[in-house]
Structure 1
Amino acid sequence: MEDIKQKALDALIIMNTAIKNLRLYPSTSAKIINAIEKLHRTFLDMLEKKESLIFEKSEKNVLLCGEALSQAGQEKWQVTALLKILLDFGIKNIIFNKGLEKEELNSFMEILSKRPENMKDESDLSRIMKGRNISHITLDKKVEVPGKIDKQVLSPLNVTDDKIIQFLMRLNPKSADDPRKLQEMTNKPDFLLQTFQSGLSEIMTQKENLSKLQISESMVNMITLLDKLAASFEKKDQDKISQQIGTSIAAMDPDIVQQLKAQKIEHLFGGTLAKYLARETIQDKAVKPLTSSAGAPVKTKSPEPVVLQQKPDPQSQIIQLKEKLRALPKDDQKPFLDAPMMSALPKLFEQLNAQKEHEAMAIIISRLIGNMFSNDPDVRLQASTALAEIFEGLTRERQDKLITRLSTRLLDWIKIEPLATLAYKKICNNLKDLIHDFILQGRFAEAIPILDVFSNISAGIMEKNDKAYEICLDIIRELASEEHLTILFEAFSTNNPDKQVESGGILVRLGDGSMNRLLDILRDKVDSDERVRIMNLFIGMGRRALPVVRDRISKVAPWYYLRNLAYILGHIGNESSAGALQPLLSHENKRLRLEALKSIYKTGGNERAHILLSVLPFADDQFKLNIIETIGNAKCVEAVPELVKMLKKRKAIASALRTNLEEKICAALGSIGSPEALPILLKITKSNFFLSIRRYSEKVKITAGLAVVSIRKKQEEVAEALDEVEVAS
């Protein structure tokens, strides 16, 4: 079954790709033909083992024949995007039957590539499918999967289907190996109440780490699970469960109770839970019997009869919302709506949209964005949750337009938001979907600023917590799909300079895989302009590109390619990467050696002296001069003893070469400015002969004299600086 599940995920991803491409390319294009061919082969492989494949959406899971697909797979943006398309068409399940023809599959993908708003109703879809002779694909047929325990998801607690079963098994360990007995236990009211109490305890142990809104959301999801398990109970048993749950909740922190009442709980247990909860909380506020100091009862007024408030109708809520919006003070960082109104806001926003209340919609979005930058984490969570739900309620086209307009502010929030909440992940994924659409539409320049933030976080350039890092890393992995890379490399290979730069800007931000492919092009290209363009892309990426370039420079490759890599490292490298350039200093190609030397000088920092001195004894005579000059320019004090030793030993070499070498050493010692070099330099300037040493040339003596002047000047400057410090102190 696991093999089929993986193939099913592959099929969903290919379906999404085919649908997206059909919106951009004709059905006769190679992209479409190849996608349909691959999709058909995938279905045929699965249908060899099963008579039919049933895909359906259950709460937050995608099921194949009643079995949940892997959580990681379900969270892929392609799967999420496909589910959005299906839900827009009102499709709840799809059945692919044995005998499926490629033409049927192609026709079905063409239908799904149309905009659902062009369909009058759901019957249009069935009529069109019938007209296209699609007989092996069935939609929205009621299916029964025998022998399966109903599984749900408690998303705020990150509880997957398997964890729910484990959660139930913990309550009765004796049934851990007997799923049938466990299923029987879920039919007992007392067991469900015990489950609620255990779940409540589990939630409250996290109280210090969760906001009150998160606690209330967790509880609603748990109660929703119990409601589904109790759906077959008699009404008296359902009432008993909802009453005891309501009593337990009413005893909690009033703020949590208020947040919970603002959630969508009216439908739970047939509405009885909301009634019990309202009655319990109102009774808590009723006047309690008082006693005198002697213990005698004191007469008090009887409490007013409890009147349960009716839920306001949507239109009255809209009127109330508009009144509140008009009364809002500017730049107020507090929540601009109470919890019940905030909970209803996404639905109200949809109605405002339908009524074309654009001014009210603009105010809501503006205030939510403002509240996302509040210092209060609860205010930020409330605002970001509402905004994420508003995005979900929009069509993809409207969603893209709104998120594009808000992208700058959303990115600012992503950069500074310290909590990686569910809303944070949703909004990040909204922006990821926008990048996806931009790539498909060739709007590369618009994708780069958004992608840049995710790239910075995933590369560790921008510090975030582990959860935010994982979210951004997953986004980069998903965007680096073969579909996207094909589009981007095709654009990069065109003769359009703008498209080359823009597509390249995306490619270097899509992680190691795409950067390595670009470096392969750099290695194989003959045209120098193209090589320069690629090098500039990597230089523009800064230290994000450093690990990939450093890894490639350590491999055997043509000298001109290694020279390009050395040039890149000279712009983006640092002390830690300078060591990767050291082997190139011994390369047979002179131009490569000089490029590596230049890059070490620019980026080597405190490592320069160690690297350069290690290769100096083995360098040829001409390259020795280059190394010594670089040591002097870098002012490597650590190199002074070795340079002084070279002046004293004076190896037997040709006089012209010796003169050049000694002249370079003296100049380097003058640049470094260390007093340690003064004795040997003074001897060179003042005497024509040492006792047993050959004579120094006039050029060397002049250079040594200049070095002495330079060193003494530096000593005077240091002395003056010290005097000024003493006077000031």
Structure 2
Amino acid sequence: MADDLNIQTALGAVNLFMSTVKNCRLYPESSDIVRQSLTSGYSRLATLFYRDAPFIVSEAQGSILFDGKLLDAKSQRMPQIHSLRLLMQALNLKSIVFDRSIDQENYAKASRILSMTPEEVDAQGGVRKVFEAEGVSFVSANHNVFLGAEADEVIESDEDFFRRIWFGQITELQALAYITRKTVNAAWLSSVSGRFLTFCADKGYEPNDWDTISRLACLNGYLVRAGSEQGNTAIFPLLYERLEALGPWLNADLLALNLSEAAVTKAVEHLENESFMLLAARLLLVKQTQRRGSRLVGRVHIKAYNDASDWILARPRGSEFSSSIEALRSREEAAQNETLARIEAAIEGLMVGESDALNDLDALAALPRVMAERTQQGKAQEVERLIQAVSLAINLEDEAKSMAAVRVLLQTAKALTGLERLDLVSRVLGPINLWARYQQEVTPLFESASDMMVNHIHNLVVGGQYGEAVPFMESFSLMAQGRLKKDLHMTRYAERTLRRMASERVFNLLMETFREDTDGHRHQASVVLALLGNIAVPPLLDLLRESEVMAERIRVMGVLKNIGPGTLEELTQRITPDSAWFYLRNLLKLLGEIGGEEHIDILEPLVTRREEQVIDAVISCAKQIGGSRRVRFFSKALLAVPDRVKPRLAGLLAQFGDDDGVYALSAVLRSRMTGSPEEKDKVIKAACSAMGEIGSMKALPTLQKVVDQKGLLGRSRYTSEQKRLAEEAILKIRHAMSKERSAPKEKEPDARVKVTRDYIASEEFGTLEAIVSGLISGGKKASALKVLLLMVERAAREKDFKRAERYKARLSDVDEMALGEVVRAEEIIDQERCFVDSGEYMETWKDFYALLTEEEASGFYHHVRNEVVEVDTEIISQGEVSNRLCFINSGRAKIVYKDDARELFIKEMCKGEVAGYDAFFHTSVCTASLVALSRVNVGFLDREVLTLMQEKHPDFLGKLQSFCGQFNNLTETVQAKGLERRRYRRFHVKGRVVFQLMTDKGTTVGKSFTGVFLDISEGGLSAVVKSSGYSMARLLLGRSICSLMKPGEGAERFSVQGRVSSVNERGENTISIHVAFARPLAVSSLEALVTTS
């Protein structure tokens, strides 16, 4: 019995088994290590067979179970259990069963097979095929959770019952026992199939999905058998009617997928004639058309329906009513064809903006298949339009419609995964990922979406497409870190999902790419590692210790810094006094970047280390994280460090200016120093100077003793120079005290709350605003200004710049003369707006900088202006003149073309790409918009700056054009996607047109000028005009202009308002000017121009 299993003994057996698998992977079969592992592993496993039952290890929902019992959280985190989970997920195994008759030979075979890579196993047909080929006995590997005959625990609820049916984790004994208890309630029997369909829908499966069909047939088969065993003949007629009401094919599914069950065939035999004939007709229709309604039945499943059709037609009533059955089949076929036509029309309508398909269950169920088929046919544009139409149905205000759209996209993603179209899978999962971010509970549909994204990330990483995996991993990383506010259950689910994403194979590939820069994907791999959070920390810290390459260590520390607080638990455990100095120095540098005041105690045992590098790292780290506890730390350290370090710590205490530092400095002066005379002299001088800087009267007694002290025979311990410094310190302290007495006394600050930077960082902004208001009302303006400045700093670091600006404005409200605080606030905000990590920046643009000379690179670096752009903000606006290039340092943006209310997606731009090429290098207004999809850090290169750069570095322009041109020639991109931005047909015409520049208010500017027509449409015209130069012609861009035209002799002239959209060189002193009309030209006017030209 499972209850008799000793869990600790089982854990020991599994730990040794996983060690054996690992050794089989690493060492030759003949090695002593492998032989010893096999012997000890088998011996430990044999200790479990005191029970008369097999030992079953299974994996479900990311957790490990022994004999169906879930291991506790601590056991789940054990390294070998974690490795076992990753192994089973990689091999798509749900359970491994060890029979009590297993011998060491079969134990060895199983261990060697499970040590193979997933690719090797897949190439041989899967684990079960390999087991069969190798003749493995008494060990079985299963793709479903295995339940032994003893698994007879009671099922408590319908939800549990449905879940077990869905995952195949139920025995016939359990199912029949549960149903027997429930069938006394006719209402339960009548509703159970419908509620199971709802359960399936919640998991993202439509009624026509094969997973739903097969599981519902399984459930109904159990219902029929339960009725048969009870002798309840009323169950099947009631069930038949209910299934008929739910869908026309469900009874056919029941028979076809349970044909071997005598209870089911016997129940069908007792159907009334009309029901019998209709069932036979539908099965015959499936056999002849290989369609189950709108769904094609694949080769794997069609045999079941063929056999069921042959069986029912071979019954006596099948022969007797054959003509009636044929007539019913014809009627059902006509209805099926009508349904197919309706679905086709609805789907075609969806591509042109109609939404009927989104309200049609048959059309929704057919959409994934249609998109997969059209993908195979190369109809990429149609597939894109369908994906976009379904994605637009995801609306947080209409939950039912959103869930239906998510289900369709999930099924589409599964179908496209089978076609190995990872690009389209990413496109389909994008809207689902966004939907998942807004969910507030772990529903079955959310679980299905998570499972799909886990599978997709695995495929992307294996395929080397790390950048594509980032948005999906980012969502779960934000949830796990609490940056997307979720409840505890959802946060933990997100953590488990991240661990599933980081399977052993995926993680090894990420680390390999990060180290070797495989195919130039190191940066993307580092981003993914950072998103994995604390999962990636131990291996990265191991690499930091072991790496002999400085550049690699810097990269590792960069990733750990990006992980942030998730690094701290493991990091602090590794900071120990006996760590190697080179490793400890890097750990302390990391702690200084991400640690807090609460970690300063970790540093105390390290101040006695002899290595200068460690001492320097400890001091730097304490300064960064110490906060209000720095003075206490450095005061204690001052008494423990070697004499050569004490002057430095004394200087720090002087900077902090806290009275508490005086006691430590006094103790140093009283102590017997063991260093060289030069070191002693430096310590005494530094201590005296520090006391003077602190300015506390508590230092006067000690300093006076230095001045007055005399030793034996009239000799003093202190030199005249040291005494002089002590006297100066005394004078400085007394002067400060005198000045303090004469100054008006300010009220004591509120001692109830000690407002430090750490307090500001941890408290809600609402509470901080209340504290500021209290300080102001209490007349404590200086304290209020200090708190407000800290609030500006926090808001800016959190990139909440609107809040930071609001607090900056309030500084002036508190005190109009607080100019210093206002300037400092502006500096903080500007610094955070434009912050770009230099190492990451250089890695991002290394290809461009490789083209430049040192002088060009320096000039470009200092002239690029970095800004942070928030989500949904337009970086480049369609129709406007652009005088700057956009270098995307981080984040994602999209290029879209706006046509009235319609917005066409052209492409997505990511970190390391350049936008605005066409409008910057060609004389035209922006023909599309660049919109931020996430917070984007973008560097702007202005045209004026480019002119200056070109004067100093003549070759720079050519290098810039060459590099930027590779990213986004918009015209080529649009042509490649098959998009058409022109709304009107162009006509070539002859004649002249007179242009007059206008102000936006409608008044004329300058003289008119004449051009020769090139072409014209309802939306605009182009003409050739003379120009004094290309630079002057560029000034026309975006200007309002009036075009005066005359169709022919005797016709009246007419004018059209518009705006110059493009200017192109055509030859010496000649340009073409392109005008977009403010409103479409009248058709009659266009016809007059075209027919008379």
Q: Which amino acid aligns with 1:441?
A: G
Determine helix, strand or coil for the equivalent of 1:328: coil
What code does the residue aligned with 1:321 have? Answer: A
Q: Aligned partners of 1:562, 1:350: CA distance in 2, in Å?
A: 55
Give 1:581's match in structure 2, choosing from 600, 603, 610.
603
1:76 Cα deviation (Å)? Answer: 6.7
Deviations 1:358-396 (A, max 9, x none): 444323321333333523333332222221122223343
Q: Which amino acid aligns with 1:592?
A: V
| Bigger share in strand | 2
In structure 1, the residue matched to 2:588 is 566
Aligned to 2:630: 608
Counterpart of 2:413 in structure 1 is 391
Matches within 5 A, 1:214-613: 227-232=220-225, 237-242=234-239, 261=246, 267=252, 313=338, 315-326=340-351, 328=353, 336-339=358-361, 341-350=363-372, 353=375, 358-398=380-420, 400-406=422-428, 409-492=431-514, 494=516, 498=520, 503=525, 505-507=527-529, 509-510=531-532, 512=534, 514-554=536-576, 556-613=578-635
Secondary structure of 1:404's aligned partner: helix
- Return the match for 1:658 from 684, 695, 711: 684
**Which whole-Å deviations, capped at 9, do the CAs of 1:218-256 have from their partners, x for residues lacking one?**
x99997665222345689634542378589x9xxxxxxx
Secondary structure of residue in 2 paired with 1:419: coil
Q: Report the CA distance between 1:586 and its aligned residue.
A: 3.9
- Confirm or deny: 8 A CA contact 2:202 2:445 kept in the other structure: no
Is contact 2:565-2:595 (8 Å) kept?
Answer: yes
Give the whole-Å Cα distance in 1 for the aligned partners of 2:433 and 2:574.
32
| Distance across 1 between alignment mates of 2:745 and 2:404 | 65
> Counterparts of 1:11-410 in structure 2 under 5 Å?
113=122, 159-161=162-164, 183=176, 190-191=183-184, 193=186, 196=189, 227-232=220-225, 237-242=234-239, 261=246, 267=252, 313=338, 315-326=340-351, 328=353, 336-339=358-361, 341-350=363-372, 353=375, 358-398=380-420, 400-406=422-428, 409-410=431-432
Asked whether the equivalents of residues 154 and 160 of structure 1 are also in contact (C-alpha less than 8 Å), the reply is no
Which protein has greater RCO, CA pairs closer than 8 Å, 6+ apart?
Answer: 1
Structure-2 change in CA distance of 1:588 and 1:544 (3 Å):
same
Kept after mapping to 2: 8 A contact 1:368/1:387: yes
Distance 1:601 1:263 in 2: 74
Letter in 1 for 2:551: D
**How far did 1:433 drift?**
2.1
* Structure 1 residue 465 displacement after superposition: 3.2
| Offset of residue 600 of structure 1 | 1.9
Q: In the alignment, is the contact (CA less than 8 A) between 2:396 and 2:402 conserved in 1? A: yes
Give the superposition deviation at 1:564.
1.0
- Show the counterpart of 1:640: 659
Distance 1:182 1:102, change over 3 A: closer
Over the residues paired in the alignment, what is the CA RMSD in angstroms?
7.1
Look up the match of 1:667. 693
- CA positional deviation for 1:214: 11
* 3-state secondary structure, aligned to 2:630: helix
CA distance in structure 1 between the aligned counterparts of 2:517 and 2:367, rounded to whole angstroms: 49
The 8 Å contact of residues 523 and 561 in structure 1, kept in 2 or not, is answered as yes
| Contact 1:108 1:134 survives alignment (8 Å) | no
Q: Note closer, same or farther for the CA distance 1:579–1:647 as it changes in structure 2 (3 Å cut).
A: closer
Q: Which amino acid aligns with 1:663?
A: S
Q: 1:113 to 1:412 in 2, by over 3 A?
A: same
8 Å Cα contact 2:608/2:641 also seen in 1: yes
CA displacement at 1:325 relative to structure 2: 1.0
Secondary structure, aligned partner of 2:659: helix
Matching residue of 1:24: none
Cα deviations by residue, 1:306-344 (Å, 9 ceiling, x for unpaired): x99956655313323235415536xx9x99434554355
Q: Per-residue displacement from partner, 1:521-559 (whole Å, max 9, x unpaired)?
A: 322344433333322222232222222212211463112
After superposition, the Cα gap between the structure-2 partners of 1:264 and 1:573, relative to the gap in structure 1 and judged at 3 Å, is farther
Write the distance in 2 (CA, Å) between the matches of 1:262 and 1:503. Answer: 48
User: Which of 148-157 and 498-507 deviates more?
Assistant: 148-157
**Distance of 2:252 and 2:684 partners within structure 1:** 95
Unaligned runs of 5+ in 1: 19-28, 61-66, 86-96, 117-125, 169-178, 250-260, 277-306, 670-676
**Structure 1 residue 566, shift from structure 2 partner:** 0.4
Q: Please report how far the alpha carbon of residue 157 of structure 1 lies from its aligned counterpart in structure 2 after TM superposition.
A: 5.9
* Per-residue deviation, residues 65-123 of structure 1 (Å, max 9, x unmatched): xx9998999x97876776699xxxxxxxxxxx99999899899999984699xxxxxxx
- Greater fraction helix: 1
Give the paired residue count: 610
**2:654 and 2:735 mapped to 1: Cα distance?**
14
State the shift of 1:451 in Å.
3.4
Bigger Cα Rg: 2
Distance in 1, matches of 2:646 and 2:491, equals 47
Contact preservation (8 Å) 1:336, 1:367:
no
Q: Secondary structure at the match of 2:449?
A: helix
Whether the 8 Å contact between 1:628 and 1:668 is mirrored in structure 2 is: no
2:234 is aligned with what amino acid? Answer: D
| Higher mean C-alpha displacement, 562-571 vs 691-700 | 691-700
TM-score between both structures, scaled by the size of structure 2 = 0.43
1:625-652 Cα shifts (integer Å, max 9, x gaps):
333433454x46xx32543895799647
Query: Aligned in 2, Cα 1:434/1:227: closer, same or farther, shift over 3 Å?
Result: closer
Relative to the length of structure 1, the TM-score reads: 0.60
Contact 1:189 1:237 in 2 (8 A): no
Distance 1:442 1:223, change over 3 A: closer
Q: 1:68 to 1:610 in 2, by over 3 A?
A: closer
- The 8 Å contact of residues 470 and 527 in structure 2, kept in 1 or not, is answered as yes
- The corresponding residue for 1:282 is none
Matched AA of 1:643? V
Equivalent residue letter for 1:241: L
Q: 1:383 to 1:518 in 2, by over 3 A?
A: same
CA distance in 1, matches of 2:557, 2:616: 18
Residue type of the alignment partner of 2:662: L
Letter in 2 for 1:193: A
- Residue identity opposite 1:556 in structure 2: D
Q: What SS class does the counterpart of residue 189 from structure 2 fall into?
A: helix
Gaps in structure 2 of 5+ consecutive residues: 62-66, 95-101, 257-267, 276-330, 673-679, 711-721, 747-780, 786-810, 818-1093
> Structure 1 residues 632 and 110, CA, compared in 2 at 3 Å: closer, same or farther?
closer
CA offsets 1:575-601 (integer angstroms, 9 cap, x no match): 333333333234343431221221221
Letter in 2 for 1:362: E
Q: Secondary structure at the match of 2:450?
A: helix
In structure 1, distance between residues paired with 2:516 and 2:204: 52
Structure-2 residue corresponding to 1:252: none
